[in-house]
Amino acid sequence: MILEAAGISKNYGRLAVLKAVSLGLERGEVCGLIGPNGAGKSTLFRIVLGLVRSDSGKVHLDSEARKPLGGIIEKPALYGYLSAVENLRVFARVQGLALSRAGALELLQQVGLPTYRRDPVRNYSMGMKQRLGLAIALLNDPGCLVLDEPFTGLDPIGIKDLRELVRRLAAERQIGILISSHNLVELGDLCDRLYVLDQGEMRHSGPTREILKRATRKYLLYGSGFLGSPALREAASPISDTSAVLTPGQEPIEHLLAKLTSEPGVGLTACIPQLDLALLLEKDSA
């Protein structure tokens, strides 16, 4: 693993913020850290980035890069009165990197920002600021990126665009990316694996598909001929000829969908899980 945090604990007085938390990250992998506000996500990321010292446990980085880690904690810290290129060159100097204007423009292009703009970044949208923060985090070619709640304040299109950018950066640069959110929907289509943190404890971890299945109680189905389906009449409510709300019982969702698609006159065009983080935080869900 390129990044491994093992047995991380952190107390602030009598408050136990993290309790023997462990996670790992491979090269080219995007891992998500899910949890409600106050779960300890930002504290864990600060410890991973070396900004806060843990009380116990270790963080190991298997990287020989000049800058093993790059990151954004909450909103990117930018100089609002400077242009994007000027911001990049200032942060590059802080990191001991001689960055040319051409090099800065190449970074902006990599994260999908316009290279022609010279106005102050205070004029940028939140999504553009997040992209610039990513460009800054990529200075000195880190082996890993740690992104804390990067979707905050973005509209649905901005969230979709940022997800695609993160996935592309992981694949093209073969860097590990660890990203946090309190919203399962934001990370469900992005991450290879998910970790679920609650009240300082790691509640679940595993492949994204398995975690999402734990967090799903109902599915929205769209298609045609549903009223003529015996399988749906038993398991779905409400139901119309083109839509249904499916609540699987003992039978796995895959079996129900297989039955549905094999029935004559029935067509399935979409199956959308209704994700609920609370299902992962129930004490008996472990």
User: Tell me, what's the pLDDT at 170?
Assistant: 93
Q: What is the chain's pLDDT, residue by residue, as a tens digit (286 residues)?
A: 899 999 999 999 999 999 999 999 999 999 999 999 899 999 999 999 999 999 999 999 987 777 889 998 877 889 999 999 999 999 999 988 888 999 999 999 989 999 999 999 999 998 999 999 999 999 988 999 999 988 888 888 888 888 999 999 999 999 999 999 888 888 988 999 999 999 999 999 999 999 998 899 899 999 999 998 888 888 878 899 999 998 877 778 888 888 888 889 999 999 988 988 898 887 654 4
User: Tell me, what's the pLDDT at 223?
Assistant: 92
Q: Which amino acid is at 265?
A: G
CA distance 85 to 89: 6
CA distance 206 to 24: 11
**Where do we find the tokens 């008996």?**
284
**Where do we find the tokens 């993290």?**
18
**φ/ψ of residue 186, rounded to 5:** -65, -35
Read off the pTM: 0.86
168: its two tokens = 């592309």
Q: Which residues contact 7 (CB under 8 A, 6 or more apart)?
A: 20, 21, 22, 56, 57, 58
212: its two tokens = 């999402």
Map residue 197 onto helix, strand or coil. strand
**Where do we find the tokens 């890069």?**
65
Contact between residue 48 and residue 60 where contact means Cβ atoms under 8 Å apart: no
User: Tell me, what's the pLDDT at 3?
Assistant: 94
User: Tell me, what's the pLDDT at 286?
Assistant: 46
Give the DSSP per-residue string, 148-163.
Answer: ESTTTT--HHHHHHHH
**Where do we find the tokens 């398991």?**
235
Q: Which amino acid is at 77?
A: A
Map residue 217 onto helix, strand or coil. strand
- Residue intervals of the chain classified under CATH 3.40.50.300 are 3-212
CA distance 194 to 208: 5
CA 6 to chain centre: 21
User: Tell me, what's the pLDDT at 283?
Assistant: 63
**Where do we find the tokens 């769209």?**
222
Query: For domain 3-212, which CATH number applies: 3.40.50.300, 1.20.1290.10, 1.20.140.10, 3.30.930.10?
Result: 3.40.50.300
Contact between residue 214 and residue 282 where contact means Cβ atoms under 8 Å apart: no
In this structure, the chain runs to a length of 286
